[in-house]
Amino acid sequence: MSSAAEEAVDIARSYYNSKDADTFYSTVWGGEDIHIGIYHTESDPIREASRRTQKRMAGKLDLLKPGAKVIDLGSGYGGAARFLARSTDCHIVALNLSEVENQKARELNAVEGLDSQIDVVDGNFEELPYEDQSFDIVWSQDAFLHSPDREQVLREASRVLKSGGEFVFTDPMQSDDCPEGVLDPILKRIHLESMASPAYYREKAELYGFRDVEFDEMTIHLKRHYSAVLSTMQSMEETLRENVSQEYLDGMKEGLTHWIEGAEKNYLAWGVFLFHKSH
């Protein structure tokens, strides 16, 4: 892994391991998921909207059945892994770089008696500790943007996926026609120089043996989600201040506002990708 990639991994790990971030995400998102939801109305609870995204993704998978082997890349608190374990008798590896989030995921798995179905693994998705063709399904939600080498992420996903396997993921992206420089405030906050785009993922996927690319474009929900997070944070701010620094809250407000404005101006894109690995 390059020094730039190592630095990005260290920054992301440090951020998600921090007390401020852990308290914010586990409180505002409810401690299950830290991903973008699908909203029927703008007042939908974040947890409910997040579960809709998981259902939408799972509904695209023909191979999601008893006995399937799934790896979730960037699994956060393990909400998707538990959803998959509860709904299908499959085995899931939940790989995530934050040890703090992973420990909470293990505790939540134990409470639900899902330990035997879910392996929580400390690691990053640019260097997967698994042999070639180990999984039937690769799953990820809103995690790849943290990598400065997304092509390597796709390469690794293809490597560990069996022939004929399915790769489903979401990721906050820039739109295909996004003007140069307009997303600099967002990039500065997430400590990266660029974001992927739908066209980027389509192009790179073909290089690594993926076919039948499907993109279910749902960018409107990116705006709704970050608006919901901002509104929820503001309604809870007095309580949050007891355990989260004002500096973090101020930075989160600014960051969320940039995401919302970027979506409103059609500079951003979001949705569900489904790739099939060629035989």
pLDDT, block means (10 residues), the chain with 279 residues? 70 87 89 92 92 97 96 96 94 96 95 96 95 98 93 96 97 97 92 93 94 92 96 94 94 95 97 92
Contact yes or no for 170/218 (Cβ under 8 A): no
pLDDT at residue number 8: 74
* CB-count burial class (<10 Å; 0-12, 13-18, 19+) for 257: middle
Neighbours of 114 (CB within 10 A): 17
Residue 145 burial (10 A CB sphere; 0-12, 13-18, 19+): buried
Q: Is the dihedral of CA 84, 86, 87, 89 positive or negative?
A: positive
Give the pLDDT confidence score for residue 2 in this predicted structure.
62
Predicted TM-score (pTM) of this structure: 0.95
DSSP 3-state helix, strand, coil percentages of the chain (rounded to 5)?
45, 20, 35
Per-residue pLDDT, 1? 60
CA distance 156 to 62: 22
> 103-112 burial, b if ≥16 CB within 10 A, otherwise e?
ebbbebbeee
Beta bridge partners of 217: 271
Range 148-187 burial, b when 16+ CB lie within 10 A, else e:
bbbbbbbebbbbbbbeebbbbbbbbbbbeebeeeebeebb
Residue 140: its pLDDT value, please?
Answer: 98
Check residue 5 and give its pLDDT: 64
| pLDDT given for residue 148 in this prediction | 85
| CA–centroid distance for 15 within its chain | 15
Residue 265, CA distances (Å) to 31, 37, 238, 260, 261 in order: 31, 20, 31, 9, 6
